[in-house]
Structure 1
Amino acid sequence: MLSVTIFLAAILASSAAHKVIDWRRLGPATAKLAGVKPGWGELLLAIAGSVEALAAIALLMPQVRVGGALAGAAVWGAYSLALAARHGAVIDCGCYFAERPKPVDKIAILRPAALAALALAVAAAPIGTWSIDTLFAVAGFLALWFAVGELASIKVFARTGQ
């Protein structure tokens, strides 16, 4: 379970960093996703990014790992629910490193839901032990995670003709 914990921490940390780096694009995207005025998008983005960063750090600290996992599950659960509320709408979900407005489909909704479920599993399970295999497992999880996102995006662009 240690490799899954580190994988989730890496996803949370990269999400938080993405929000800091690309806040000008993601602020309005967050507002549209949440259905609030544009000015509120940046505040929601800052809150989500802060929770993600703190959860990533907490996941790597045995004393507060469960709290980090629960915080990550809450962020991903809220994100999945927000996407479900916009199912079918064409938006930039902010889930890619580049701007990609596309219809919110089942895959976009299920990806954060899957992360939330994994985070809940991490919260319920013992931490596990460290070995060199842990690094390879984390690298494999990350590669698969980003590949699935890219493949899902290609499928949508092929279907819509863009």
Structure 2
Amino acid sequence: MGYVLTVLSALLAFILAEGAAHKLLQRERLAVSTAELTGLSVSTGAILSLAAAGAEVAAAVMLLVPGSQRTGALVAAALWGLYSILLWTRRGSKIDCGCTINARPDDARKAIPRALSLSCLAALVAVSAEFASFRWEFILAGAAFFAFYIAGNEMLALSTLRRSIGR
């Protein structure tokens, strides 16, 4: 069972690293998104977005380093939990959640299940009893699942696919 948690830790680390990279590479877009999400100014949104990116990088590194995986998982669970709460406060509003490569403003309610699921997965990792020792195979397995995660995110962003799933 330890190898499953280690692969899950790697997957969560990749998701966090992607989120941090996204915030750093598209600073202006995600500063505006953060401002809309928090109800604060764009300049404050920029600072919060960079702070979130720093926390995501720290959590991602901790999730990959044996002995610090629980702490990394707790940080990740807190980040995604806070994000879920912020999305809940903006439900019904059109926001760019930053979940996809391109800006796609949509109802905030649609991003809540994703953030809440990630928070729960991270919490599961945090309370788990055993991790396997570090092996490259686990990192590669996490990367493979991350590729599926990205593909799924982009597919769900397609409005035609979303309409057909909703029927």
With normalisation by structure 2, the TM-score equals 0.85
Which runs of 5 or more structure 2 residues have no equivalent in the other structure? none
Establish whether residue 53 from structure 1 lines up as the match of residue 57 from structure 2: yes
Amino acid corresponding to residue 71 of structure 1 in structure 2:
V
Equivalent residue number for residue 121 of structure 1: 124
Distance 2:147 2:92 in 1: 27
Establish whether residue 87 from structure 1 lines up as the match of residue 91 from structure 2: yes
**Native 8 Å contact 1:13 1:56 kept in 2:** yes
Equivalent residue number for residue 139 of structure 1: 143
What is the root-mean-square deviation in Å for CA atoms of aligned residues?
Answer: 1.9
Distance 2:95 2:119 in 1: 22
Which runs of 5 or more structure 1 residues have no equivalent in the other structure? none
**Native 8 Å contact 1:30 1:94 kept in 2:** no
Establish whether residue 67 from structure 1 lines up as the match of residue 71 from structure 2: yes
- What number of residue pairs does the alignment pair up? 158
Find 2:82's aligned residue among 71, 78, 96.
Answer: 78
> Cα deviation per residue 1:95-153 (whole Å; 9 max; x = unaligned)?
112111122234x1111111111111111221124567535532342133223322322
Find 2:46's aligned residue among 42, 67, 71.
Answer: 42
With normalisation by structure 1, the TM-score equals 0.87
Aligned residues with identical type, % of pairs: 37
**Native 8 Å contact 2:20 2:54 kept in 1:** yes
Distance 1:84 1:10 in 2: 25
Establish whether residue 7 from structure 1 lines up as the match of residue 16 from structure 2: no
